[in-house]
C-alpha cells in the first residue's frame, strides 16, 4: 500500500481532499493507539478535539476511527465524523460529542458507545454485545444483523430497523420507518413512537410490564422510560431460518489449456532459471511477499503451516497468521484481526463475506484495519469473478496493492472463462503500469501447469489449498522441480517472462470462452474479428 498521503477514494469528494482526510483518519487512529497503554494504566480519559488551553478543535469527517477499543479504554471526541466510528469495539468506552456517518459501532462485541447527535445508516450493524446510545436520530437498517447487546435511539429511525437481527434489543424512543423488523429471527425491537406495519417475518404486540422493567436498565441512566403504549416487534415464530448458503465451485479447471514455447529453442538443462516471485506494496520497495513458486497456500489456520517444509512459503489464512502470511478477514474476523495484523505481511478483506457495504463503508473498514499495520504491509481485496470489474475499480480508487479473484461461481464455472474477464478488467484499471498484483483463486491444489497458466495470464500467483491425497512437503518439492522444467521447456528464465502467447486452447469451446488461440491456429478465429 502506498503511504497514506497518496491514497485516493471512490467518494464524490475531490481526490486531494480525500487523500488528506484518509491521512488524517489514519493518523488519528495511530495517535490514539500510542496514547491508550498509558491512559489505561492510569485510568485516564483520552480527550480528542479539546485544546490544552480550553479551546475547541473539533474533528471533521474522519472515518474508520476509534475502532477495536480494548477493555477499560475511554475516549471522548468532539466533532462530526464519517463512517464506521467505534466499530469492532472490544470493551472500551467511546463518547462522541457530535454526529457521524453509517455503521456506528458496527461489529461491536463489548463496551459502550454514545453519540450526542444524529448518525447515518446501519448503526450497530452486526453488533454482538455492549450498548450503543444515539441521542439523535438514526438512518435506515439500525441494528441490522444484530446478535446481542442493546441499541438505544432517542430520536427516530429509518426503514428496516432491526432487519435480520438474531438477538439483542433495539429501543427506539421516536418513530420508525417502513418495514420494521424485516427478516428478524431473534431478539426484540421496542418502538415507543409511531410504528408502521411490521416487515416480513416480524409480528407486533403491546409491551408487557415485565419488559418495561427489563428496559429500565438501559433507559433510567438516560432519564428515559417507555409507557405501556409502546410496541414490541419479534420474530413471528421465534425460529431460526433453516438455509444453507450455496458453495462456490469450479466445474472445470485449466485442463483444456495448453502451454507452448515462446522461443525456437528450449533453455539448456544447465541454464539457470529464477522461479521466485515477489509482490511489493504499490510505490514501495520494502515489505511485500516473496514466493518460491507462485502458489499462495490457502489454509484456515496458519498454525498448521508451522512445519519446516512450509517455512518461507506464504499462505492466505483466516487465523493465526505467520510472518509471511496474508490474513483473510471476513465478517467474523473483523473484531479479532487487530491482534494479528502487526505480525503478518498484510490483509485480504473478503468483500464476498461483506456483501451489503457500499464503497465508502469498505474504505472506512480498510482505514480502521490498516491503522494497526506497518505502512509497508500489503492490502488486498477479494471477491468473485462475477464482480471483478467492481473489485478492480475499488482496488484502483482506494490505491490498494492488489486483488484476489475467486474463479468459482455458485453454479460452477469453467476456470478458463475467468481469464479474459480478469485481463480486460485489469487493463481497464491499468493494473500493470501501477504495479498492482492479481491472484486467481482455485478450489483444488494446483498443478505445475496451473501455475504456468496463471503466470502466463498475468497473475502474480495462484491461490489454492494443500493437496489432501499426498505428502505436502513432497508435493512442494515436486511443484518446484516441475515448474523449473516448464520454464526451460517454454524458454523463459524468469516467471515474469511468461505471457498469453504461451497459452493455447485445446478445443473450440475453450477458445471461445477464454479468448486464447486454438491450438494449431496462429491466426485469430473469425469470432475475434467480428465476422
Q: Is the pLDDT of residue 13 over 60?
A: no
Q: What whole-number distance in Å separates Cα of residue 298 and Cα of residue 388?
A: 20
Looking at residue 239, its pLDDT comes to 61
Round to whole Å and give the CA distance between 130 and 127: 8
Mean pLDDT of 93-105: 98
Cell of 153: 435511539
CATH architecture, range 45-235 = 3 Solenoid (2.160)
pLDDT of residue 306: 74
Contacts of 256 (CB under 8 A, 6+ apart): 416, 505, 506, 507, 509, 510
pLDDT higher than 60, residue 8: no
In whole angstroms, what is the distance from residue 111 CA to residue 96 CA? 14
Res 209: pLDDT: 96
Confidence check: pLDDT of 15 > 60: no
Confidence at residue 5, expressed as pLDDT on a 0 to 100 scale: 31
CB atoms within 10 A of CB 492: 23
Q: Average pLDDT, whole number, for the chain?
A: 91
| Tens digits of residue pLDDT in 34-45 | 999 999 999 999
pLDDT of the residue at 468: 82
Top pLDDT among 84 and 262 is at 84
**Res. 22: pLDDT tops 90:** yes
Distance CA 310, CA 476 (A): 9
* Angstrom distance (rounded) from CA 493 to CA 289: 21
| pLDDT at 251 exceeding the cut of 90 | yes
Residue 262: its pLDDT value, please? 67
Which pLDDT score is estimated for 459?
A: 96
Kindly tell me if the per-residue pLDDT of 171 is higher than 70. yes
Q: What is the mean pLDDT of residues 224-239?
A: 90
User: What pLDDT was estimated at residue 298?
Assistant: 95
Q: Among 102-111, 379-388, 478-487, 518-527, where is mean pLDDT lowest?
A: 518-527
Per-residue confidence band for 238, with pLDDT thresholds at 50, 70 and 90: low
Query: DSSP letters along 226-291, please?
Result: --TT-EEEEESS-PPP---PPPPBEEE-STTEEE--SSSSPPPTT---B--EEE--TT-SSS-EEE
Q: Residue 6's pLDDT band (boundaries 50, 70, 90)?
A: very low
- 531 pLDDT higher than 50: no
Taking residue 201's Cβ as centre, other Cβ atoms within 10 Å add up to 17
pLDDT value of position 19: 76
d(CA 442, CA 480): 19
pLDDT the model gives residue 529: 52
- Check whether 2 has a pLDDT greater than 60: no
C-alpha cell at 465: 489449498
pLDDT of residue 108: 98
**10 confidence band (pLDDT: 50, 70, 90):** very low
Q: What is the pLDDT of residue 398?
A: 95
Give me the mean pLDDT over the 349-354 stretch.
96
pTM: 0.91
Average pLDDT estimate for 5-22: 55
In whole angstroms, give the CA distance from residue 235 to residue 206: 14
| Domain span(s) for CATH 3.20.20.70 in the chain | 250-526
pLDDT at 364 exceeding the cut of 60: yes
Given a cut of 90, is residue 128 above it in pLDDT?
yes
Average pLDDT over residues 243-254: 87
> Residue 4 above 50 pLDDT?
no
The pLDDT value given to residue 422 = 96
**Closest among 211, 210, 225, 120 to 169, alpha carbons compared:** 211
Q: What's the rounded mean pLDDT across residues 271-292?
A: 88
Residues whose CB is less than 8 angstroms from the CB of residue 110 and which lie 6 or more positions away in sequence, other chains included: 71, 89, 90, 91, 129, 130
User: Which sign, positive or negative, has the C-alpha torsion 342, 346, 350, 356?
Assistant: positive
Is the per-residue pLDDT at 522 higher than 90?
Answer: no
pLDDT digits (tens, 9 = 90+) for 428-479: 999 999 999 999 999 999 999 999 999 999 999 999 999 887 777 788 889 9
Mean pLDDT over 210-221 rounds to: 96
250-526 belongs to which homologous superfamily?
Aldolase class I (3.20.20.70)
Amino acid at each position: 500500500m502506498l503511504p497514506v498521503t497518496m491514497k485516493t477514494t471512490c467518494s464524490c469528494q475531490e481526490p486531494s481532499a480525500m487523500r488528506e482526510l484518509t491521512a488524517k483518519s489514519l493518523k488519528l487512529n495511530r495517535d490514539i493507539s500510542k496514547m491508550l497503554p498509558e491512559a489505561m494504566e492510569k485510568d485516564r480519559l483520552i480527550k480528542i478535539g479539546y485544546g490544552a488551553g480550553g479551546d475547541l478543535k473539533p474533528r471533521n469527517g474522519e472515518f474508520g476511527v476509534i475502532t477495536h477499543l480494548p477493555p477499560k479504554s475511554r475516549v471522548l471526541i468532539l466533532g462530526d465524523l464519517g463512517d464506521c466510528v467505534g466499530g469492532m469495539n472490544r470493551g472500551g468506552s467511546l463518547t462522541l460529542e457530535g454526529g457521524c456517518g453509517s455503521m456506528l459501532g458496527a461489529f461491536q462485541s463489548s463496551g459502550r458507545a454514545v453519540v450526542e447527535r444524529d448518525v447515518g445508516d446501519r448503526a450497530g450493524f452486526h453488533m454482538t454485545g455492549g450498548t450503543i446510545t444515539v441521542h439523535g436520530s438514526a438512518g435506515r437498517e439500525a441494528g441490522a444483523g444484530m446478535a446481542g447487546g442493546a441499541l438505544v435511539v432517542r430520536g427516530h429511525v429509518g426503514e428496516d430497523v432491526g432487519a435480520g437481527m438474531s438477538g439483542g434489543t433495539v429501543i427506539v424512543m421516536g418513530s420508525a420507518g417502513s418495514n420494521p423488523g424485516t427478516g428478524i429471527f431473534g431478539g426484540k425491537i421496542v418502538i415507543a413512537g409511531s410504528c408502521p406495519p411490521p416487515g416480513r417475518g416480524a409480528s407486533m404486540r403491546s409491551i408487557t410490564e415485565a419488559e418495561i422493567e427489563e428496559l429500565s436498565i438501559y433507559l433510567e441512566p438516560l432519564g428515559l422510560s417507555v409507557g405501556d403504549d409502546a410496541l414490541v416487534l419479534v420474530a413471528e415464530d421465534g425460529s431460526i431460518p433453516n438455509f444453507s448458503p450455496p458453495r462456490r465451485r469450479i466445474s472445470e479447471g485449466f485442463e483444456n489449456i495448453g502451454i507452448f514455447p515462446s522461443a525456437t529453442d528450449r533453455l539448456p538443462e544447465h541454464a539457470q532459471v529464477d522461479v521466485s516471485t515477489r509482490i511489493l506494496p504499490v510505490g514501495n520497495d520494502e515489505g511485500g511477499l516473496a514466493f518460491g513458486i507462485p502458489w499462495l497456500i490457502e489454509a484456515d489456520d496458519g498454525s498448521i503451516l508451522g512445519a519446516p517444509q512450509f517455512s518461507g512459503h506464504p499462505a492466505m489464512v483466516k487465523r493465526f497468521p505467520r510472518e509471511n502470511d496474508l490474513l483473510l478477514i471476513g465478517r467474523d474476523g473483523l473484531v479479532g484481526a487487530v491482534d494479528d495484523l502487526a505480525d503478518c505481511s498484510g490483509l485480504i478483506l473478503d468483500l464476498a463475506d461483506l456483501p451489503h457495504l457500499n464503497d465508502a463503508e469498505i474504505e472506512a473498514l480498510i482505514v480502521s484495519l490498516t491503522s494497526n499495520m506497518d505502512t509497508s504491509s500489503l492490502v488486498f481485496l477479494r471477491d468473485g469473478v462475477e464482480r471483478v470489474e467492481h473489485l478492480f475499480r475499488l482496488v484502483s480508487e482506494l490505491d490498494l496493492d492488489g486483488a484476489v479473484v475467486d474463479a468459482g461461481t455458485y453454479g460452477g464455472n469453467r476456470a478458463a472463462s475467468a481469464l479474459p474477464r480478469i485481463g480486460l478488467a485489469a487493463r481497464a484499471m491499468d493494473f500493470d503500469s501501477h504495479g498492482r498484483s492479481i491472484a486467481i483463486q482455485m478450489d483444488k491444489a494446483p498443478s505445475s501447469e496451473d501455475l504456468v497458466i496463471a503466470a502466463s495470464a498475468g497473475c502474480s500467483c495462484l491461490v489454492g489449498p494443500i493437496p489432501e491425497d499426498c505428502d505436502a512437503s513432497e508435493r512442494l518439492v515436486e511443484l518446484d522441480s516441475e515448474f523449473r522444467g516448464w520454464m526451460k521447456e517454454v524458454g523463459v528464465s524468469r516467471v515474469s517472462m511468461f505471457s498469453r502467447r504461451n497459452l493455447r486452447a485445446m478445443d473450440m469451446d475453450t477458445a471461445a470462452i477464454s479468448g486464447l488461440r486454438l491450438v494449431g491456429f496462429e491466426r485469430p478465429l473469425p469470432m475475434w474479428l467480428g465476422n
